Amino acid sequence: MKKIIFLILFTSYWSTLTAQLHENLVSYSIAGTPVNGVKIKTNIPFVSGADMPTIFIKGFSYGGANTINLQLVFYIYKNSAGNTYFYTPTISSSGSYTPIVQLANENGKVVVFINDKVYYQRFWVDAFSKHSSTYYQNWTVVDEPLSGTAVVEVPYKNSFKGQVQVNGMIRAKEIKVEATNWPDYVFQEDYELLSLQQTEEYIKLNGHLPDVPKADKIESEGISLGEMNKLLLKKIEEITLHLIQKEKDIEELKRIMSELR
């Protein structure tokens, strides 16, 4: 039993010991613009279970004035149908450069293709793996179109936990905010909707709408995007109820005037 435990511990220790960072595997520097894109030819065999590397691409994209700090991971897997493919490839960026990145099998080796054409770009490539160092020798970077099989575009994934502060502009194609207590309760029969007269009196007294924070508080503390959206929707729903009631009042007034004629 002691021998078995020793063997397990020794194997675990040896696996940890042999894992290493392979630095400056290849570098890229172009005084111009690539015609096809940037292809990193690795020496990692496209064989199921061959490797589970972490590849780092770092540098500067002068053409886009962006820092490059990409971290790419993938695993090569063969399913029960005998198909070999890239399993759960993922990429994250802590820089400002997020190009389309693809993986492929070319002549039995993994290639990383940066599907972008940026002039005067500079970067180098590191990798972390516990597998054979021969996988991390003789890498090259070329300006060639992507070919081969098992081509996949690698999805970006970044997560942040805690407080994130941004001193500047945020630009995004889409922002998804999770919120609770969405103000559909405004349409419930027991909701106490302030009359327009009550709202007017509140505004004269306080200088802002009910439930909406004062300007100086927002300027000093800010406000959650989710909370602001909830407040705006609540006010829109309240206005909608007032409009519905006003339309009913108008229709009733028309009916009365018609009967008086």
Contact 184, 238 (CB under 8 A): no
Residue 52: name the closest of 72, 76, 30, 80 by CA: 76
Q: Identify the bridge partners of residue 39 per DSSP, sorted by sequence position.
A: 113, 142
Q: pLDDT, tens digit, for every residue of 143-152?
A: 999 999 999 9
Tell me what pLDDT residue 8 has.
Answer: 45
Q: pLDDT, tens digit, for every residue of 165-216?
A: 888 888 888 888 888 889 999 999 999 999 999 999 999 999 999 999 999 9
Q: What is the domain partition of the chain in residue ranges?
A: 23-153, 183-260
CATH entry, 23-153, from 2.60.40, 3.30.70, 3.10.20, 3.30.2390: 2.60.40
